Amino acid sequence: MDLQKINEFAIKLIYDAGEQIRESFSKELIIETKTDANDLVTNIDCQIEQFFVKKIKELDPSHKIMGEEGLGDKIVTLDGPIWIIDPIDGTMNFIKQHRNFMITVGFFVDGVGKLGYLYDVMRNELIYAIRGEGAYIDHHPIRKLEPLTIEEAIIGINSSWVIQNGKINHEKIANLIRTVRGTRSYGSAAMEIALVVTGKLDAYLSMRLAPWDIGGGMVIAQEVGAVATNLKGEPFNLLSNDTFLIANPSIHQKLLDEFIELK
Amino acid sequence: MDLQKINEFAIKLIYDAGEQIRESFSKELIIETKTDANDLVTNIDCQIEQFFVKKIKELDPSHKIMGEEGLGDKIVTLDGPIWIIDPIDGTMNFIKQHRNFMITVGFFVDGVGKLGYLYDVMRNELIYAIRGEGAYIDHHPIRKLEPLTIEEAIIGINSSWVIQNGKINHEKIANLIRTVRGTRSYGSAAMEIALVVTGKLDAYLSMRLAPWDIGGGMVIAQEVGAVATNLKGEPFNLLSNDTFLIANPSIHQKLLDEFIELK
């Protein structure tokens, strides 16, 4: 399998998709509600995922596709080559802000991440990685993350996990917030992961993400030295939803040990 | 006083300052700590404020200047023409992310906001308003905000006010977070205000802001119909720090009545 060639294919696909999304802002959006009001879907999500599915199947019909909109394949095993795609991560931002959303794509073979992409459509900023060959931002190499202390860290966390909730001990999260230098919340997991792998945030955690939220980011994380696991410190389960923590390697274990207590 | 002429002067000044800041990323930053680790200052903050002071005094030496770095005048009254300036709002983002910080400027005469500016330096996106003549984003008119319900709202709030704290009843804030569609936190008051006045967020609140954080935004808020007060619902005190709420007019009073309880 020629990873360099697949990488070139993926980069072109993502830039093309970004162009389609930017053009869509001049057209009317047809918005329907999915399972709840917090999970909005627009016709452009489906259009972009359909575009990825079509092009990937043209490249190689044996490649399987797992996408947020469910237009690809039904994935029950990680065997073989699988694309994991979120055509628009941060749909609410997409609709309301016309910014702060991402295209994210991961390419896995037998469960091992080979290629990863995080594309900030409105900034036209592409982060990508090839397993074992480093990570790049707009084609410039990204440096390995430098160590820091918890007290110096800026952490991405949604306020839903800061108030009392059924998933995590919120008193320990309150201690975390009192300990770190600051927190941020952007409303796009892929964007927060992109900020962590480039050292603009030092960690990001969530109680519930899907494989397509983090697949691309996991490959990039490995190349810059960021540690990405679930909140038990185990590998994220790519066949279901899971908890998630990505962090600078100098604080990942300390975050798990001192501030995370799942219910 | 020719406000149109002062507006043209201010826009040129802000674009020039933005250019200096973007250039500074290629130079080394000398960072010193101010009163605490959360309030970082760099040499560029001072350089930009000095630039504003020099140019404004050249325009009219009778104009007074209130700036975050304290290089302007000592302001004890709001009489006469006063510029209220934050050369870099979101200093931590400036240092760590090289994005998500703003230049913000307000021009007041006898305490009345006449001109307001919010400039996203890295996006090169300028929002400004002239009192009574509307607000503009990159020179296109900004529409008045459209009504919405609390349940549809996205709110900017820092996690420090979500955990138990000495300033506000955090249980009511938890109720707010359970009620709204989502929350965000960007680490720059001026950026969150910019998002509210353009309808990309529906409210932003803070327990403690300075006049230079919000001066420019207040003028713009009035032109788009956003309501900006302190958390008692009174006008923000421009001669000291104060609490702050800016919101879509359809939810401002409800936020104060049902979700805000100062200690």
**Residues on chain A touching B189 (C-beta within 8 angstroms):** none
Cross-chain residue pair B185–A159, CB shorter than 8 Å: yes
Closest CA to A70 of A89, A53, A90: A53
Out of B38, B181, B184, the one facing A185 most closely (by C-beta) is B184
Q: Which is more confidently placed, B44 or A31?
A: B44
Any B CB within 8 A of A183 CB:
yes
pLDDT at position B37: 47
Highest mean pLDDT among A68-82, B39-53, B144-158: B144-158
- Cβ pairs bridging A and B (under 8 Å): 75
Average pLDDT, chain B: 94
Q: Which is more confidently placed, A36 or A59?
A: A59
| Residue B111 pLDDT level (bands cut at 50, 70, 90) | very high
Out of B159, B177, B184, the one facing A177 most closely (by C-beta) is B159
Q: How far is CA A194 from CA B80, B92, B100, B199, in A?
A: 47, 18, 14, 25
- Taking only the tens place, the pLDDT of each residue in B65-97 is 999 888 999 999 999 999 999 999 999 999 999
Kindly tell me if the per-residue pLDDT of B25 is higher than 90.
no
Which domains are assigned to chain A? 3-141 (3.30.540.10), 150-259 (3.40.190.80)
B153 DSSP 8-state letter: -
Any B CB within 8 A of A97 CB:
yes
- Taking only the tens place, the pLDDT of each residue in B27-60 is 655 555 555 544 555 688 899 999 999 999 999 9
- Taking only the tens place, the pLDDT of each residue in B209-240 is 999 999 999 999 999 999 999 999 999 999 99
| Residue A41 pLDDT level (bands cut at 50, 70, 90) | low
| Residue A31 pLDDT level (bands cut at 50, 70, 90) | low
């709110």: which residue's tokens? B155
Q: Which is more confidently placed, B245 or B32?
A: B245
| Residue A67 pLDDT level (bands cut at 50, 70, 90) | very high
- Taking only the tens place, the pLDDT of each residue in A117-154 is 999 999 999 999 999 999 999 999 999 999 999 999 99
Closest CA to B211 of B246, B233, B237: B237
Distance between CA atoms of residues B93 and B90, nearest Å: 5
| Residue A220 pLDDT level (bands cut at 50, 70, 90) | very high
Secondary structure class of B60 (helix, strand, coil) = coil
**Given strand B154-156, what is the order of strands in its sheet?**
B182-184, B154-156, B203-209, B242-247, B227-229
Average pLDDT, chain A: 94
Q: Which is more confidently placed, B184 or A26?
A: B184
- Taking only the tens place, the pLDDT of each residue in A234-262 is 999 999 999 999 999 999 999 999 999 99
- Taking only the tens place, the pLDDT of each residue in A151-181 is 999 999 999 999 999 999 999 999 999 999 9
**Residues on chain A touching B38 (C-beta within 8 angstroms):** 181-182
Instruction: List Cβ neighbours of B120 (8 Å cut-off, separation of 6 or more).
Output: B102, B126, B191, B194
| Residue B24 pLDDT level (bands cut at 50, 70, 90) | confident
pLDDT at position B230: 98
Of A28-32, A248-252, B198-202, B217-221, which range is least confident?
A28-32
Interface pTM, i.e. ipTM:
0.94
pLDDT at position B154: 98
């130079």: which residue's tokens? B27
Closest CA to A68 of A21, A103, A36: A103
CA distance A180 to chain B (A): 10
CA distance B79 to chain A (A): 37
| Residue A15 pLDDT level (bands cut at 50, 70, 90) | very high
Cross-chain residue pair A154–B96, CB shorter than 8 Å: yes
Kindly tell me if the per-residue pLDDT of A23 is higher than 90.
no
Any B CB within 8 A of A91 CB:
no
| C-alpha B126, offset from chain centre | 13
Kindly tell me if the per-residue pLDDT of A194 is higher than 50.
yes
**Residues on chain A touching B185 (C-beta within 8 angstroms):** 159, 183-185
Q: What percent of chain A has pLDDT over 90?
A: 89
